[in-house]
Chain A
Amino acid sequence: MNYPSRLIEDAVNEIAKLPGIGKKTALRLALHLLKRDEEQTRALSDALLSMRTQTQFCRQCHNIADGELCAICSSTKRDASLICVVVDTRDVLAIENTSQYHGHYHVLGGIISPLEGIGPADLHIESLVRRLQQASEQEPVREIILALSPTMEGDTTAFYLQKKLKPTGVKVSTIARGIPIGGDLEYADEITLGRSIVSRVAYD
């Protein structure tokens, strides 16, 4: 594509690097911003930059947080004896939207797949084991719920976690398979996902 200005071309190229956005859409967005007040673009770029530089990850569960602890880990209304293990923040949002779960989370940050160069050491697995070991006498963890996609990689990660968690003696369960095989949690509808957390099954 030939752009009328170098400045537009640079902006289009940057926007088009985002997932799901092609050059055409990027050009439309750039021209849209040019039509609006300069203030609007400034607000957008400020918000993006603040998000990138100031966002923190919860030191307990690795979810996105505004401070050291995320809103869920610091809430007194949540049940700290339940920990739901998920792949990333999108899964936390999907489960929160069901309003069926009131425990804590643990965000792994990915799923085990050596083919893509991701081994167990690349995920927040050690910190989960430590978290269980350090749970206080007054507030022990009762149950770990594995909410991973029913794919081969999801199963592998679940089996590995079971092996690692067994010595802690904490009960491990997995969400019921209401979600379609090979499907992502993110795309499971809220009712199905909510039901699958309520009717979770324990590993023996």
Chain B
Amino acid sequence: MITKESSIVTEAFLLTQRRAKELLREPQWIFSGMATPILYLVLFAPLLTNIPSALFGGLSVVQMFVPGMLVLFAFGSGQGIGWTVIHELDTGVIERFRVTPVRRVSLLLGSVIRDGLFFIVCALIVCLIAIPFGFVIHPSGLALTLLLLAVLTGTVSATSAAIGLALKNIGALAASIMSMQLPLTLLAGALLPISMGPTWLRVLAHFNPFYYAVEAARDLASGHILTVNVGLGFLVVFAVFALALTWASRVFQKAVA
């Protein structure tokens, strides 16, 4: 018996590295992942150019649009891990890790951190590409946006892993992810601000954590850091992240192959 003990930092680092290698060895996923925000930027954002900017609180169309699109991208970057998890259930990899002393939360953190980092790198590239379209970069605001949305990515990632593990079935996983994606992102005002909508929609949005992320990201991306929206956004996103991580760890604790 080996009597040494690995720390949670070591575990998280090793398992993140494993996931990162997996991704880098299949780079087509990186390109197909990044294609979505770029296509939105090129093919959808121009449709909005004739809308008076007063409707966006005085923001230019691109300045309003990019943060919302990054929230969509955060969802996309985190959702895929459930498929990997189901595959690893079938090949016994999850079982093998679960009989080792590795902390259950570390098993999740590998994917969560990898997806968060992947999001930050790709989102940064997307923001640079958005500059010629009129996107203005406020460095500290942008840094906080990416941090906030990386945590959101991690939330989606932990949730996807847990759903995959609980349902053990690719079809059922796809159905549940899809059934969440549209309502959560539309009702967050990711494409157009919710403030343009009727009262019932605006009220309903307040029950959606993604709404707070979008509102905070819009403020941050235009350089307004000390706002109520930003404070609420960080509060809600971090709280939901903690919940998702706790729930997913429990699912990992109990998972039956």
Query: Are A and B associated in one complex?
Result: no
> What is the interface of chain A, defined by CB distance below 8 A to chain B?
none
